[in-house]
Structure 1
Amino acid sequence: MTENEPITPQVIDDLAPTGVLRAAINFGNPVLARQGPDGSPEGVSVTLAKALANELGVPLAMITFDAAGKVFAALESGAWDIAFLAIEPAREALIAFSEPYVIIEGTYLVATDSPYRRVVDLDQPGLKLAVGQGAAYDLYLTRTLKHAQLVRAETSAAAVDAFHALALDAAAGVRQPLQSIADADSRYRVLADAFTSIRQAMAVPRGRQAAAAYVRHFVKRMKTQGVVQAALTANGQKDVSAAP
């Protein structure tokens, strides 16, 4: 469905109960959002938040976070009306997700001279892997790793710092920012394969049924109309594609 859905009073009440659309923007994933030169948020999730607020005819307030885990934690205090998070079973009891608008890979940063070549090589007894607390890949690895130990840092960037400082075996994260680190420092490389595909979606607090239905159709339209891909390209994410 690519036609605009009716904007009913219930949709407005669900998406902007305070009269303002409060959007949680996560700087922890630079593929989706980052601070621009003037300090203001930019990226594909910012583009989508602005488009939704404009469509609803309400003001937009962007509430920024430095980690996805902190976005999820802020749900308890009712801090936001929409968020941009990876679809994860651990979150679905409290959040209603759209279908994904971007799919990105979770993989590992390792030392260049490391013996590890594939993600499966890193699930061994005694190995320690840095992760950002509450990130999608933290939740995924928590469920799936059988032997390796996770060392959690406050944010994704702090996880890379911990990998360096503590001489850990790898840092888990989103491929693009990890690759930027490896490109800038020959001591590191990124594994060619991935341990998961991270499905990034728009999210609303569960129980807001009108909001959930509207956002699902909104994301479909934004993909069909090319808005998502255009925003990715405009923000320098040329190696990332909109989800099908």
Structure 2
Amino acid sequence: MRTSSRRIAPIVLLAFAMTGLLGAPARADGEARLLAPSGRLRVGIYPGSPTSMVTDAAGKPHGLAYDLGGELARRLGVGIDYVRFQRVADIVTAIHDGQVDFTVTNATPARANEVSFSQPVLAIELGYLVPANSQIGRIEDIDRPGVKIGVTKGSTSERTLPTKFRSATIVPAESVKVAIAMFGRGEIDLYATNKPTLFEMSDQMPGAKILDGNWGAEHMAIAIPKGREDALPLLNRFVTDEQSSGALDTIQQQAGLRGASKATRE
């Protein structure tokens, strides 16, 4: 019996060692199944904003949500599907409904009721864009009767700005692309959203200007469906790795993302 016990002991230790070795991949596989239950990571994007997806001169797509989604899918060892929408509010709804697995968006309290967020990825200023030859030269000139402020329908701007202005009128636009056309038809006098998007718009509007100052900041974070919170530690490590390695800086440069600053954890 003593000989048998001595022989069994190493076998038991080996079994525990194998369990430890196999545990890490098992957890990783579990997180992959949790974040991408279909076996492919469905990333929600909308065109026109470097925080989501834009294309460079060669037609290659870049963007915060686009590139971070691609990198996460690679780390998880799963395929990726990019699902396009007109605006970010539609993506948030799709994540809430389980039709999309991942995006990057402003982590507002209202959206936190619909989706779950990682730690902040980066912070970006909110501002105003005016067209060439605009009579509005300062933020202080905005709140006047007859001034029409364009915002993206369903956005944080649409919910927030009515409380800031008593005289100016808020005018929702279906998308950033539509908003640029609205400027040409005189339907809006300025546009309010995050500065990376405003810079992108100004590149398509000769003489347009972003007003000095800001009216707040967005705290961009990864959004996933409710019920997948067990994957948040992995997502937070992923965000920290992207920030510390310099990969996030590269993503911003490739997307032409301007007006961003380092995120801080609250």
Instruction: Calculate the TM-score normalised by the size of structure 1.
Output: 0.83
2:87: which partner in 1? 67
Displacement of 1:223: 0.6
What 5-or-longer segments of structure 1 have no aligned partner? none
Equivalent residue for 1:220? 240
- The alpha carbon displacement at 1:79 in A equals 1.4
Write the deviation string for residues 129-161 of structure 1: whole angstroms up to 9, x where unpaired: 111112333333245444422111111221232
CA separation of 1:218 and 1:91: change in aligned 2, threshold 3 A: same
Aligned to 2:7: none
- The superposition leaves residues 82-115 of structure 1 with CA deviations (integer Å, 9 ceiling, x where unpaired) of 1111112221101111222232222112244434
Displacement of 1:81 after TM fit?
Answer: 0.8
3-state SS of paired residue (2:170)? strand
Aligned residues: 241
| 2:21 corresponding residue in structure 1 | none
Show the counterpart of 2:31.
11
CA–CA distance in structure 1, aligned partners of residues 94 and 206 of structure 2: 38
Match of 1:188? 208
- Structure 1 residue 27 corresponds to structure 2 residue 47: yes
Match of residue 223, structure 2, among 203, 217, 226: 203
Q: Is the alpha carbon distance of 1:91 and 1:136 closer, same or farther for their aligned partners in structure 2, counting shifts above 3 Å? A: same
**Alpha-carbon spacing, 1:25–1:170, altered in 2? closer, same or farther (3 Å):** same
How many Å apart are 1:46 and its aligned residue? 2.2
Larger mean CA deviation between 176-185 and 188-197 belongs to 176-185
Shift of 1:167: 4.1
1:233 and 2:253 correspond = yes
C-alpha change, 1:31 and 1:77, in structure 2 (3 Å) is closer
Q: Percent of counterpart pairs with the same letter?
A: 27
Q: Residue 98 in 1 paired to residue 118 in 2?
A: yes
- Partner of residue 116, structure 1: 136
Supply the AA of the counterpart residue of 1:81. D
Greater shift in the superposed pair: 213-222 or 135-144: 135-144
SS of 1:134's equivalent in the other structure is coil
* Shift in CA distance, 120/88, structure 1 to aligned 2, threshold 3 Å: farther
Asked if structure 2 preserves the Cα contact closer than 8 Å seen for 1:229 and 1:241, the reply is no
| Aligned counterpart, 2:105 | 85
5+ residue gaps, structure 2, are 1-23
1:115-134 mapped onto 2 (5 Å cutoff): 115-134=135-154
Q: 1:56 aligns with which of 76, 88, 91?
A: 76
Distance 2:122 2:31 in 1: 24
1: CA distance, partners of 2:47 / 2:155: 12
The answer to whether the aligner puts 1:162 opposite 2:178 as a matched pair is no
Moved more, 177-186 or 54-63: 177-186
Task: Write the letter of the residue equivalent to 1:49.
Answer: G
Aligned residues: CA RMSD: 2.9
Match of 2:11 in 1: none
Q: Are 2:64 and 1:44 equivalent residues in the alignment?
A: yes
Which amino acid counterpart does residue 196 of structure 1 have in structure 2? G
